[in-house]
Amino acid sequence: MMETSTTPIWELRDIIIEAGATDIYKCYQCGKCASVCPWYQTEAVNFPTYKFPLAAQLGRIASSEGKEELAREVEEVYRCVGCEACVEQCPQGVNIPNTLRAVRRILVDYGSYPDTLKPVVSKIHNVGNPLGEPGEKRRDWAKDLAIPLFQPGMEYLYFPGCFPAYDPRLRKVATSTAKVLKKAGVSFGILGEKEWCCGEAIRRAGAEKIFQEAAQSNISAFRNAGVKKVVVTSPHCYTTFKNEYPLLGADFEVFHITQLFYQLIEEGKLKPHQLSQLPELGEPNDSKSQRAKDPIKVVYHDPCTLGRQNGIYEEPRGVLKNIPGLELLEIGDFSHQFALCCGGGSGGLWLDWPKGERMADIRVQQAIETGAKVLAVACPYCLQMFEDSVKTMNLGLKVMDIAELLAESL
Ligand code: SF4
Ligand code: SF4
């Protein structure tokens, strides 16, 4: 990360502070952040997070002039997944991911950022989603369900987000969600092609200008449609709508879908039935009749952006606890605010780390050690990261979104 020379580069320090690293001087180098960083759990990676605030104070972060040395520094700066485990534990309230985001903004301005992120940024700029799919197909997931476009007078705008709108696997999360909302009699519509990527991931990757474009596009679309309440599938949409869009002029309430599901169950508008089996649940040693009697063991993974960053821990668990036939398990010391990140945040979804450097591999191993057959998630990034790991590690674990489990029970 730092060059061997210790000469400070004050000009770079000032640019980093200007770009958002305002609390670097509070760091007193205790090292607590490094001990809770998920990279600490990987055997192959040394990621000394405590060095970043000091390096930023000296302007000696991603400052090399040599091409190879700079590439190594850039790789390090982009390892941070924005999980905020360090933020929660720092006794000084230093926000390391914000410092790294500030550095990334400078790197993006100079085009010195990972090649795999460049097409993601340009696709969002060009067509409003990281998959590069045409806007007119954004509503295709809903075509068999007759979901209407949002009209004034409807209570909620359902905002599935990019992957649930386009990705063939993740579309099942959006369709399950819509089926549950319809079953509960919720008044909702969608925006279809007027919906753009929320921009959260690219903002954390440093592409601030494209984030601003995406945010303004959504804010205008919501305002023009008369939207007052938005319910989202992705915690990444949730946090950026709730905590960042209001600073850009947005004026709407936002709910994560697990909050609404739980509310609907509490109000008696959803009554889950006994779930005795799940399609594709691989249990080769269990007979079907035994499986019908035994509860399905499910372990819940707290997405960083939903749990640690927004304090939503109990509603997702509340939904799962209200599905008869499920037994909810926890991942011992790595649950709630101590949950290990899946590795997909802040651009991590598009950075292909080699075996031995994947947080999701560690997390699915933790999940399977609980005895669970299902790993329940509430985030499209987590679902993709964990399904990839389960596949490459050949584990007998099914990854399902809470919306899918709830839809199965209705
Ligand atoms: S925990 Fe906070 S004060 Fe301690 S080294 Fe990390 S950033 Fe600095
Ligand atoms: S946000 Fe997470 S990944 Fe980034 S430095 Fe902090 S603990 Fe490590």
Q: Which of 47, 49, 54, 88 to mutate to test the pocket of ligand 2 (most atoms within 8 A of CB)?
A: 49
175 Cβ below 6 A of ligand 2: no
378 and 285 fall within a common domain = yes
Mean pLDDT of the chain: 93
In a domain, 337, yes or no: yes
Phi-psi region of 409 (alpha: psi -120 to 50; beta: other; left: phi over 0): alpha
328 and 370 fall within a common domain = yes
Q: What is the pLDDT of residue 2?
A: 46
Q: What is the pLDDT of residue 41?
A: 87
Q: What is the pLDDT of residue 91?
A: 96
In a domain, 47, yes or no: yes
305 and 385 fall within a common domain = yes
401 and 275 fall within a common domain = yes
Ligand 1 centroid – CA 207 distance (Å): 26
Q: Which of 24, 26, 33 to mutate to test the pocket of ligand 1 (most atoms within 8 A of CB)?
A: 33
Ligand 1 interacting residues, C-beta cut-off 6 A: 27-33, 50, 53, 90-92, 94, 96
Ligand 2 centroid – CA 247 distance (Å): 24
Ligand 1 centroid – CA 55 distance (Å): 13
Vertex 302: Cα angle to 78 and 39 (nearest 5): 35
Q: What is the pLDDT of residue 320?
A: 97
321 and 358 fall within a common domain = yes
In a domain, 388, yes or no: yes
86 Cβ below 6 A of ligand 2: yes
Ligand 1 centroid – CA 90 distance (Å): 5
141 and 251 fall within a common domain = yes
Task: Name the pairing type of β-strands 374-377 and 296-300.
Answer: parallel
In a domain, 1, yes or no: no
> What DSSP string describes 264-296?
HHHTTS--PPP----TT---TTS-HHHHHHSPE
Ligand 2 centroid – CA 170 distance (Å): 26
Q: What is the pLDDT of residue 388?
A: 96
Domain boundary among 61, 94, 113: 113
121 and 251 fall within a common domain = yes
User: By the 8 A CB rule, do 77 and 70 touch?
Assistant: no
Domain boundary among 236, 260, 284: 260
Which structural domain range is residue 35 located in? 10-113
Domain boundary among 78, 113, 148: 113
> What DSSP string describes 214-277?
HHHHHHHHHHHHT--EEEES-HHHHHHHHHTGGGGT---EEEEHHHHHHHHHHTTS--PPP---
Specify the CATH number for the domain of residue 42: 1.10.1060
pLDDT digits 0-9 by tens, 349-368: 999 898 889 999 999 999 99
Q: What is the pLDDT of residue 21?
A: 93
Total domains present in the chain: 3
200 and 277 fall within a common domain = no
Ligand 2 centroid – CA 384 distance (Å): 20
Closest listed ligand to the CA of 348: 2
Q: What is the pLDDT of residue 394?
A: 94
Task: Choose among 178, 176, 243, 186: nearest CA to 383.
Answer: 176
Enumerate residue ranges in the chain where pLDDT < 50: 1-4, 282-285
301 and 177 fall within a common domain = no
Residues 311 and 337: their CA atoms lie apart, in Å, by: 8
169 and 202 fall within a common domain = yes
Ligand 1 centroid – CA 35 distance (Å): 10
Q: What is the pLDDT of residue 288?
A: 53
Closest protein CA for atom 8 of ligand 1? 27
Ligand 2 centroid – CA 103 distance (Å): 14
Closest listed ligand to the CA of 94: 1
Q: What is the pLDDT of residue 290?
A: 53
Token pair for residue 259? 């909050």
331 Cβ below 6 A of ligand 2: no
User: By the 8 A CB rule, do 232 and 161 touch?
Assistant: yes
**Which residue is listed with tokens 């509340």?**
318
199 Cβ below 6 A of ligand 2: no
pTM as predicted: 0.93
Q: Is 149 helix (H, G, I), strand (E, B) or coil?
A: strand
Atom number, ligand 1, closest to the C-alpha of residue 89: 1
Q: Which amino acid is residue 251, in one-letter code?
A: D
Closest protein CA for atom 3 of ligand 2? 80
